[in-house]
A and B are shown apart, each in its own frame.
Chain A
Amino acid sequence: MKVFWPRRAPRTGTVYGWINGEIAVVAAVLDVQDGDGDDALARIPSTSKLIEQAGSAPHIIATCDASQDPWIVFKGGAESVDIVLYDPPQRHKLHFFSLEPVSLHRAVELPDPRAAKLLPLDTEPRPPRMSHAVNQMNSADDFAVLLRRADSREAVGNRILDWMFTRTQRSLPVIVRAMEHHVIPPARRLSSITATASQVHLRALQVVYAANEMERAQQQQGRNSWSACGPYVSFWNCVWLLLNDCILGYAVGNFLMENHVWIGSAIGAAVQWTAHECIAESLAWLDSWPVGLKLNTELSSFFHIAFLAITRIFSSAALAATPFFPSLVFLLGAIGSCSLSLLLALFTDLLTVLSLNITLSYLAAAAILRFEWYAAYALFTLFRGKRKNVLRGRVDSWEYDIDQLILGTVLFTLVAFLMPTVLVYYAFFASLRFLILLAYAGIEVLMACVNYFPLFALMLRIKDPARLPGGICFVPASVPEFPGAWRLQNQPLAPSAILSHFGRYFSSMARHYHPGRIIWRFVSGGHLDPMPSSTDHLFR
């Protein structure tokens, strides 16, 4: 028989607990006479929620006396007894044991199609006796308190949650409905154009999520507090992140509002510098045999004039708008004071607008390069004696006339000799686009940290690991009264499990910005795009 014994229980008295087959869980040891034993049991209200959670009320299972030789005598007969010591988790501090790591996120795991093909290894559930035992151990402290006629204490955190819930109970569904119908759809539609709309969309989703989690936490609490842990942690995490956002946003927004003059003029000067010193001079350099490369003179001067015209138009527009930059910075600071992530999203949009000439030139140069590659590939198909069969969608052999071959040859020499010029101009603008992409990525990383980082869970993990159980383990206990005994310990949730949700975002970002993918797109003239913000995988 394995007996789970509370560590601080005295070894003399009447033992109250549960027996499930080979496992006995001890709730309390009271020093009462036999007659009073049932009185103590009568103090437990029969409709208590604790009985639901633990499965049944505890009853007298044994008597123990530290001075006698078999120090514990069970009602059903004494067999060999293995002691496992445990610390009853204190419910008012929201501690509990759990056989499986507590899940902090309601977001459904996206089903991995590869995993579905593998046979599930763990088809049978956990041994039911052990999970019963864990439930009983979780409620042991409360029962001990009831049996001793002491007052139960309630967790402070739960009281705050209840207070918040009762205050917002009326207005919460209204807010949620307003968000879902009026804010989220238009923000979602615009989120592919502006980063600001995407950020607003994300915030609205977070508010809805937090509201749902609060409701769920409140409900679960009524039933058993340990399944309320997940929604509780995510709700408070959302709240903390929002408050952080506001505070940091206020700080940065104020800074912007105070220094809007010199920041605005700095931005204007930077735009002019990019347009003139950076782009115009580089284009002139490319036109005059860069690094000794002899480019085709006519085509090179055409590119030079065309791209220079784009930059000139843009820089004269920026020059006309320069007096308004300080007020624009002031406005940005004012709007961004409420939220740092909104400020970062506005920065992203500002960067998009200010680098418009680079983006346009890049798109043009990339289109021309793609055309050159396509022409070269098509002509090579011609030389191989093949033709694309549109009906079947494949490449078939085909006999060409001699004049088609001759024309193809002449065009091929044209494409081959013009390729270096096009390649040089494309490489210049693609590198600029790549630098801007790096800037986007940096701002996005900051935004991800502000929006998603699981601060609350990490803080709990550091401060009070017993609130975030990730399983149980048995270690040998070196206690002189119980030789050969084990101790049941809570294994706190690993930080990697806490950050796994956050890590998924980073892995999708790494997949998007993978060097191989970037290099292939660079060489073939594909589109170098910033990562599309999709919130689908985080909130459902």
Chain B
Amino acid sequence: MAADGEVKWEKVLWRTQPFPDNYVPDSFLDKLRKNTNFRPYSFRGLVLAACAITQHLSTIFIFISVFVRLNDSTLDPRVLVWVTVATHVLGSIVWDVAERPFYEKHERRANRAKAVKSSLMVFLALIGLSPVLKTLTAATSSDSIWALSAGLFVINALLADYREPASVPRKEGLISVLSMNAAISASVVLASRLPTNLSVFALMLLSIQLFALFPILRKRIQAVPAVLHFTFTVCIATASVWSMHSLSPFVASLFAGTLLFVTFGGPGLLMWAQQYKNEIRGPWDVAVPRVRPDT
């Protein structure tokens, strides 16, 4: 050391060094790394991911407009029942087609039989429970009903599962079941305003179709190529806005605004906020393992 002339400062504490205690070397913080794991989002990826939220909100809006029409008696409940049943059949065919590459022939037949049995059970159970559900909250005043159902729909939208399907299908977690609960409760609460048992039955059937079965289909559709996915989203969004348009253009424009904001405005905001990302890492952090895929 003495032969070099200058003693270099070393980052050790177990040796007495001829430097003052507050000495700042030149190599201070040279190992600091900023935003090492930063991968910038692409607008396209974000929009595609936000399509799931748009689809969910569109179904809520469709439900609300159908309820308003049922309440005004401008929509015949029997028509609604048939439409729901047809949509259910269509949806199960789409599901079957999408599931085809994953299962054997006999497995597919078993799955189809199980799906038919499930739908029949729910259909019959709802027929039996409709009179009870009609009078459940009949005594509550309408104002509380609107507030209660709005709150429950908000809970449903917040707690829903918008993630992409994993390679191994996950089972329903408690949170997604709770969000389905909130939506069904909201429709039960709204159904107590309707005049006849048949309209209650139709509304409940629609709500189960939209809030219990559609999220499963939506998850499946998220794996489809991007263009199809986006087109599907656009179709549903247009349908929801158009269904409200004839009743009240103001509300329809509100719907359209919300959907546009969720699909495009949200990702845009996220992209704009990325410039403020400031992640500091250094050798003092817990090591991040890099998991290599098996070759």
Q: Interface of A with B (CB < 8 Å)?
A: 289, 294-298, 383-385, 399-403, 405-407, 409-410, 412-414, 416-418
Q: Decide yes or no: A406 and B208 within 8 Å by CB, A298-B135, A413-B184, A416-B185 being known contacts.
A: yes
**Residue ranges of B at the interface with A (Cβ–Cβ < 8 Å):** 114, 117-119, 121-122, 125-126, 129, 132-133, 135-140, 171-174, 177-178, 180-181, 184-185, 188, 204, 208, 212-213, 216
CA distance A384 to B208 in the complex (A): 20
Closest to A399 in B: B171
Query: How many whole Å from B181's CB to the nearest CB in chain A?
Result: 5
Assess the A413–B185 pair: CB atoms within 8 A.
yes
- Give the shortest distance, in Å, between A412 (CB) and chain B (any CB): 6
Q: How far is the CA of A412 from the CA of B121 in the complex (A)?
A: 17
Dominant SS among interface residues on chain B = helix
- Contact B138–A409 (Cβ < 8 Å): no
Is the Cβ of B172 less than 8 Å from the Cβ of A385? Answer: yes
Known contacts A384-B174, A401-B118, A406-B212; A414/B181 CB under 8 A: no
Residues of B within 8 A of A384 (CB): 174
CB <8 Å contact, B177 and A405 = yes
Closest 7 pairs (CB-CB, A-B): A403-B118, A294-B139, A383-B177, A409-B184, A399-B171, A417-B136, A413-B188
Residue of B nearest to A384 (CB): B174
CB pair A414–B136 under 8 Å, yes or no, is yes
Question: Which residues of chain A come closer than 8 Å to B171, judged between CB atoms?
Answer: 385, 399
Given contacts A384-B174, A385-B174, A399-B171, contact A405 B212 (CB under 8 A): yes
- Nearest-neighbour CB distance to chain A for B63, whole angstroms, equals 16
Cβ B174 vs Cβ A409 within 8 A: no
Given contacts A294-B140, A385-B173, A414-B136, contact A403 B188 (CB under 8 A): no
Contact of A417 among B137, B172, B177 (CB under 8 A): B137
Residue of A nearest to B185 (CB): A413
List 5 other contacts, CB 8 Å, given A402-B118, A405-B212, A410-B188. Answer: A383-B181, A406-B208, A409-B181, A409-B184, A413-B136
Question: What's the least CB distance linking A383 to chain B, in Å?
Answer: 5
| B213 engages A410 (CB within 8 Å) | no
Min distance, Cβ A362 to any Cβ of chain B, angstroms: 26
Contacts of B181 in A (CB 8 A): 383, 409, 412-413
Of the residues B122, B133, B178, B212, contact of A383 by C-beta under 8 Å = B178
Contact B122 A297 (CB under 8 A): no
Asked if residues B121 and A407 are in contact (CB atoms below 8 Å), the reply is: yes
Name A's interface SS.
Answer: helix
Pairwise interchain contact A296-B118, C-beta atoms closer than 8 A: no
- A166 CA to B83 CA in the complex, in Å? 102
- Can you sample 9 A-B contacts with CB below 8 Å? A294-B139, A296-B137, A298-B135, A385-B173, A402-B118, A403-B117, A403-B118, A405-B180, A413-B188
Residues of B within 8 A of A294 (CB): 139-140
Q: How far is the CB of B129 from chain A (nearest CB, A)?
A: 6
With a cutoff of 8 Å between Cβ atoms, the chain A residues found around residue B136 in the complex are 296, 413-414, 417-418
Complex contacts, B129 vs chain A, CB 8 Å: 410, 414
| Smallest beta-carbon distance B84→chain A, Å | 14
Q: Are A297 and B133 in contact (CB under 8 A)?
A: no
A409 neighbours in B (Cβ, 8 Å): 177, 180-181, 184, 212
Question: Bound complex: CA of A403 vs CA of B117, how far in Å?
Answer: 9
Contact present for A403 and B139 (CB under 8 Å): no
CA distance A412 to B188 in the complex (A): 11
B169: nearest chain-A partner, CB-CB? A399
**Complex Cα gap A466–B220 (Å):** 94
Q: Which residues from A are CB-within-8-Å of B125?
A: 407, 410
- Chain A residues with CB under 8 Å of B173's CB are 385
Bound CA–CA A385/B174 (angstroms): 7
Enumerate chain A residues within 8 angstroms of B178, measured Cβ to Cβ: 383
A406 to B133, CA, bound (A): 15
- Residues of chain A within 8 A (CB-CB) of B174 are 383-385
Q: Are B180 and A403 in contact (CB under 8 A)?
A: no
CA A409 – CA B126 in complex, angstroms?
Answer: 12
CA distance A403 to B174 in the complex (A): 16
CB distance from A287 to the nearest CB of B (A): 12
Closest to B135 in A: A298
Q: Which residues of B are found within 8 Å of A385, using beta-carbon distances?
A: 171-174, 177
Taking CB atoms, residues of chain B closer than 8 Å to A298 are 135
Distance A362 CA – B135 CA, assembled complex (angstroms): 26
Cα distance, A402 to B119, chains bound together (Å):
9
Interface pair A414/B133, CB less than 8 Å apart: yes
